Chain A
Amino acid sequence: MKLGKDIKKDFKIFDSNNLVYLDNGATAQIPNIVVEEMNNYYSVKSNIHRGAYKLSGNASKKYEDARKVIADFLSAESQEIVLTGGTTSGINMLSQMLCKDLKAGDNIVLTRLEHHANLIPWQQKSKEKGFEIRFIELNKNLELDLESAKKLIDEKTKIVSFVHVSNALGVISPAKKLIKIAKKVGAITILDGAQSIVSIEVNVKDLDCDFFIFSGHKLYGPTGVGVIFGKIKLLEKLEPVNFGGDMISKVSYIDAIWNEVPFKFEAGTPPIAQVVGLAKSIKYMQDIGMKAVFEHEQNLCSYTIKSLKEIEGLSIIAEEAKRVSIISFVIEGVHPHDIASILDSQNIAVRAGHHCTMPLMKHLGINGTTRISFGIYNDVEDVDRLVEGLKKVKELF
């Protein structure tokens, strides 16, 4: 399958306008077949894991089949897939479950690149429990500095949680190496894969991470659904933090016994349509092939960086870093918000601001950036329109 312009036909949003959509890092567009799949569920709607009637049985099967699709996509087992509301809800859940026994003197290691979603949950737990939070530094290319990681991760490090691909800069983390460093001290490893899952073939066995988290909506799927992959041995040991229907095997007025993994982590009626939709998005991506997606986005990045250099006063943040699908830049004398508005007037959608990484922006000494993030349907024509748009920005200011 050819990526870029040719697959725009799979997405209704590109039918009737000349939209240049370059904000896939915020959310990616959704293929028509995924919307249809969710409609199919809604047209014969039923809850799962409860009714004895056929309708409910079919819904349960669809839901569990979807779990299997997600598991295969990550090279994991179905039992290791916990379905959540998104990356943020996943990290919040993990922070609740993993910090129970942490105390003053312990530490958790994050990085300078983290999205607020992989920072604030740990900050809050740190205030409650008194453990320290450490941040792995960046090298001159703004990639994670493994020497810094080696210094910061010690025998008191209980958790190492880090972003796989920076949503703000597009920088790829040396995940396998960092996980190895963390394993040496027995720390639990968590990968925030919200931005990597869309561009990189992820194999959790190969990565050897304990947890891998992502959302559906960036992966050309619906909003309101996300995934926690967790190694089965860890999931079995963990106590749930959300309680209610479906997560139990036996309940009395006094106490309750939990259901088995992964169901003990999925209290209440889950986002069934979204889970079914996400599985369809994943199948769509598998048909394209993640290697082809990666290559497509790499080519677009190289072409874009070359094109952006034509614009005077424009600096790409982390230009030399190993990156994927995202390019953040600033233009001297023009605020990112103004750049985005002027591009919007030409029907070009980009993101401006801090990208939910306020501490990183401050660390880099900037207020914010203009960010473009590619999807499978973007092509060089989109980049050319962007560059034309930026030239207009320069004319105005």
Chain B
Amino acid sequence: MYKENILYLYKNPLNKKDLVDFDICEEGINQMCGDEIKIKIKFENDKVVDVGFVGDGCAISQAATSLLTDFIKGKTKEEILKIKDEDVLKMLGIEISHTRIKCAMLGKNTIQKSIK
């Protein structure tokens, strides 16, 4: 589970910033560990032009949220809502144990909740 890319993203997360100019802000909580993240998204012409997240988390949640926030750039709300759990797992490229699925999906669930 702890491949190099995951550990690299944990130490060097992507899009970890607090946006000043944004359209949507949503908080997500991982009930298992109490980790909280806050995601902000800026849209232009219905497409994501910027996204940032803040908050602590484990390596899995930080890596997954990093990859996902990069992935949604340039995408419409409809396209974002179509993202499935499997897509996130593919991005991570690792096997996630049952107990850690919530960590991997924290970013995805928070983003999708924000635009529903």
Q: Which residues of A contact B (CB under 8 A)?
A: 335-338, 341-342, 344-345, 352-354, 358, 361, 367-368, 396-397
Contacts and interface: CB of A to CB of B under 8 A. Distances in A.
B34 A338 contact: no
Contacts of B1: 341, 345
B33 A368 contact: yes
Contact of A396 (B2, B33, B56, B100): B2
B97 interface: yes
A354 B32 CA distance: 8
In the A-B complex, the 7 residue pairs with the smallest Cβ-Cβ separation, listed nearest first, are: A335-B58, A337-B58, A353-B33, A354-B34, A338-B59, A338-B58, A337-B33
12 contacts: A335-B58, A337-B35, A337-B58, A337-B60, A337-B100, A338-B2, A341-B99, A353-B33, A354-B34, A361-B34, A367-B34, A367-B56
Interface of B: 1-2, 7, 32-35, 56-60, 97, 99-100, 103
A368 B33 CA distance: 7
A228 B2 CA distance: 45
Nearest to A342: B2
A354 B100 CA distance: 15
Contacts of A368: 33-35
Given A337-B33, A341-B1, 5 more contacts: A335-B59, A338-B58, A342-B2, A368-B33, A368-B34
A396 B7 contact: yes
A368 B30 CA distance: 12
Contacts of A336: 33, 58
Contacts of B7: 396-397
Among the interface residues B32, B58, B103, which one has the most CB atoms of the partner chain A within 10 A?
Answer: B58
Nearest to B102: A337
A338 B60 contact: yes
B32 A353 contact: yes
Q: Which of A336, A345, A358, A368 has the most C-beta atoms of chain B within 10 angstroms of its own C-beta?
A: A368
Contacts of A341: 1-2, 60, 97, 99-100
Contacts of B2: 338, 341-342, 396
A347 to B, nearest CB: 13
Contact of A352 (B33, B56, B60): B33
Nearest to B34: A354
A353 B33 CA distance: 4
A337 B99 CA distance: 10
Most buried by B among A338, A352, A361, A397: A338
B34 A335 contact: no
A389 to B, nearest CB: 13
Contacts of B60: 337-338, 341
Contacts of B34: 353-354, 358, 361, 367-368
Contacts of A358: 34
B116 to A, nearest CB: 26
A391 B32 CA distance: 25
A353 B34 CA distance: 7
Contacts of A367: 33-35, 56
Contact of B103 (A337, A345, A354, A396): A337
Contacts of A361: 34
Contacts of A337: 32-33, 35, 58, 60, 100, 103
A316 B64 CA distance: 29
A352 B30 CA distance: 13
A336 B56 CA distance: 11
A353 B61 CA distance: 14
